[in-house]
Structure 1
């Protein structure tokens, strides 16, 4: 019989981001396995799957072998969900006679009777409800009742053929608490999704998922971060920059500071990334904010992600210089977010940056700093790959990205915790140097892919009016080493009154 053309090809999971990973959802009429250790979010995803079906008017059935119906409903309420009449919860429990010592058989194992009786209860309830979506929680109980791998495989195959003949989409949950190495269901299921929980040395647990198998269906490979919060599970699909391309005019964006723009050869081109390097306190954040202010003045929107500094302190500090970030935010021109590296996964951070560009239409994005971003990474060697994809994505959306990196040390030989200079289109270097009995600051552009730039080194000051840049320091040698040598006749240094 031909399928109803109104019926969607996929059963949407109801989980934000998961359908994107599955490239559509769960193909209807098939059996899928959702596996993971206890606490990884299997039940929450399963309930979301049934709620999504109930919203379409589809009858749904949840078989629970390990939790009670009351526990399930309480768990749903913790997310603000009230399970309606479309979602039937059936507790699969052994017959009381099997718990009575006087009624137990002596020639058969009690598990033989329990497995058969459990199967009959499941099939009987299915025939009564005739659901379109089914969840069986969990396979560990059935595996224990089956006793052997052969009986277990036969039982799962029987379930598969039974449900397939009745056009039901089935989600099997496995908590991996017994014989976790048994891959029986992997070969039987149409698709397999694995959930994992990572425990960093400090901070909240991190969760990620991976689609191990999906017959006849393309899906997004690799690991995808996800989080469980009130309201359910949110999956953050791994960012693939090559999937996001837009066309835009590559015009030059200025900072509204004439000397800085001159140093940059007129400004930075739209759709490029700029890395600002320097030791602590040199003014990396202020340089990035200068481009934010200029963008807002042009009528554009901007986004600022702060890892290292408390927002209240940042607002007060830059307000003295005439930069009112709070006013920009209230006017809807600036999205500001304080990022807690201990609580946020890299995938969720990339998702938030994407949202600021896709939905808030931000054209200038500041990430302050990569040191904080690095702290959010479960593995340091993956940081460069994350930054690469994020920068490529932002560049292809026509956004100007500014990243700051705090180098170790103050003067002399500087150590960079992570080297991403080859990824950035423009690299600005800030330094302290000593001259005439004072500690001063210097700025230079050491790389710009998109055009020419000044090769000089300029002094700059942070004053009450913001950034003030001086003339090129042509009378000094060794400024970048921190202790320069004066080789000229006059020192064109900024006076203490300038700025």
Structure 2
């Protein structure tokens, strides 16, 4: 029987066993509930497929779907139901379907419920399975017609299954009475599935373990998706559970003036936030660190929410930064994300996978504005970002996150304040001087050491970023319209005087 000697039955659902601390406790009855379309049948099939793969006998008792429908559903996920899985299609006896033979002195439900229970027991006795799925309780609830009879029937099923040593998964589509918690008090554990419909974008699914007797589990909501191959669950990240040992050395950007502004560079295992209006060059500053990482022999992962990859490749290639070639050489992983189709949990899992499997030591998230679009609430965004940044820091990964502020000059506001989460905050600004729109950069915060308190002008040229000396002759640069207070202030000039060579 393979795994039957173990105390837990693996569900076969990616991520769910982690939430359940190893799976479902054997010889107990569990409830999987959710409205139609949340993925109950798919999870149930994966649960039985996992058992069959481990040499266990499995039984799927269906009261609502036909065997052909179940096999079609499995085929849509690329599954072939194993021979070790017996599908028992429970249909009413012919006498109950014949109007001439219907009983008139007794309630029909008395006969139907008794016959249904008897057929379930007979099917079980014939196969003696290790894993059982009963789909669905709504049919039994309708046959019982009262809460008391329904509770007695579920208790009878529970006592019967407990004597056999089988692990049982009861499915409930919650179509009869959402307030009826009869089964919750009887079963050993409850997994609740939800489907949410945002105002724009695809549906979002999440699950929560609401009960698990005698077992600690990962609480709260966890995002999941139904994809080809089955259900994949993304366990909620808890950074405190992950820590790796690494040397906290200082990493340089490759631009001398920028490293001076940073007080020597960025410490390994820290997070950096680049904030400023659109077009100031936030992405280019992050890519400078990606280039430096590749030159050190490290790998990087870039997650783009806002920009089309073809445009990014072409404009950076013009600055002697060939991201496309880096990708072909396996030096970086770059991925364009659609916030309307992506849940926060799935995004977090993608980042974790790149750090674990690709060994990315530098991670770029561009931008929080796009990430926020996938979040229903700002507070949830901050919590997700907090856990993700803490996790990456503990892995020795350097994280660079961008935030686009509203407006271009003057009083600007951020869509969400995540400055307190980052270890280093770099502020980018436009300012007007001598009849031209110029750019300035300053380091506002650095937890890991000293940094310059100056403001430096920078230019985006054909060879990339060029930084100048501190702007000591101007006052009010961060407000956008500075006042000249010095005797003479050196400003950067374009490669061709009078032309804007910014990309």
Task: Output the TM-score relative to the length of structure 1.
Answer: 0.98
Q: 1:302 aligns with which of 300, 303, 311?
A: 300
Q: Aligned runs of 1:86-235 on 2, under 5 Å?
A: 86-235=84-233
Higher mean C-alpha displacement, 386-395 vs 91-100:
91-100
Distance 2:303 2:35 in 1: 33
SS at match of 2:198: coil
Contact 2:2 2:56 in 1 (8 A): no
Distance 2:378 2:482 in 1: 35
Residue 427, structure 1, aligned to residue 434, structure 2: no
- 1:68 is aligned to 66
Residue 49, structure 1, aligned to residue 32, structure 2: no
- 1:407 is aligned to 405
Distance 1:259 1:110 in 2: 86
- 2:20 is aligned to 22
- 1:249 is aligned to 247
- 1:58 is aligned to 56
Higher mean C-alpha displacement, 117-126 vs 6-15:
6-15
How many angstroms does 1:179 deviate by?
1.3
- 1:264 is aligned to 262
Contact 2:4 2:56 in 1 (8 A): no
- 2:459 is aligned to 461
How many angstroms does 1:83 deviate by?
0.8
How many angstroms does 1:375 deviate by?
0.3
Distance 1:44 1:464 in 2: 53
How many angstroms does 1:360 deviate by?
0.9
- 1:355 is aligned to 353
SS at match of 1:165: helix
Distance 2:2 2:281 in 1: 63
How many angstroms does 1:329 deviate by?
1.0
SS at match of 1:286: helix
Distance 1:339 1:353 in 2: 12
Q: Aligned runs of 1:467-478 on 2, under 5 Å?
A: 467-478=465-476
How many angstroms does 1:488 deviate by?
1.1
How many angstroms does 1:497 deviate by?
2.2
Distance 2:338 2:277 in 1: 22
How many angstroms does 1:381 deviate by?
2.1
How many angstroms does 1:84 deviate by?
2.1
Distance 2:2 2:309 in 1: 55
Is there any run of 5+ residues in structure 1 with no aligned partner, and where?
A: none
Distance 2:3 2:296 in 1: 50
Distance 1:151 1:393 in 2: 50
How many angstroms does 1:494 deviate by?
0.3
1:222-252 deviations in whole A, cap 9, x for unaligned?
Answer: 0000000110000000000000011111000
Q: Aligned runs of 1:364-443 on 2, under 5 Å?
A: 364-443=362-441
How many angstroms does 1:102 deviate by?
1.1
Distance 1:68 1:253 in 2: 61
SS at match of 1:390: helix
Distance 2:120 2:374 in 1: 45
Contact 2:404 2:414 in 1 (8 A): yes
How many angstroms does 1:326 deviate by?
1.1
How many angstroms does 1:5 deviate by?
9.2
1:342-400 deviations in whole A, cap 9, x for unaligned?
Answer: 00000000000001111111110000000000001122221110000000000000000
How many angstroms does 1:8 deviate by?
1.7
Q: 1:323 aligns with which of 321, 324, 328?
A: 321
- 2:290 is aligned to 292
- For the aligned residue pairs, the C-alpha RMSD in angstroms reads 1.1
Q: 1:492 aligns with which of 453, 478, 490?
A: 490
Runs of 4 or more, structure 1, over 4 Å off, are: 3-6
Distance 1:380 1:64 in 2: 42
How many angstroms does 1:4 deviate by?
9.5
SS at match of 1:337: strand
Contact 2:302 2:363 in 1 (8 A): yes
Distance 2:313 2:6 in 1: 50
Distance 1:93 1:378 in 2: 43
Q: 1:35 aligns with which of 8, 20, 33?
A: 33
1:235-294 deviations in whole A, cap 9, x for unaligned?
Answer: 000000000011111000110000100000000000000000000000000000000000
Number of paired residues?
497
How many angstroms does 1:6 deviate by?
6.9
1:157-177 deviations in whole A, cap 9, x for unaligned?
Answer: 111111111110000000000
How many angstroms does 1:138 deviate by?
0.3
SS at match of 1:51: helix
Contact 2:300 2:332 in 1 (8 A): yes
Task: Output the TM-score relative to the length of structure 2.
Answer: 0.98
SS at match of 2:5: coil
SS at match of 1:342: helix
Distance 1:314 1:5 in 2: 50
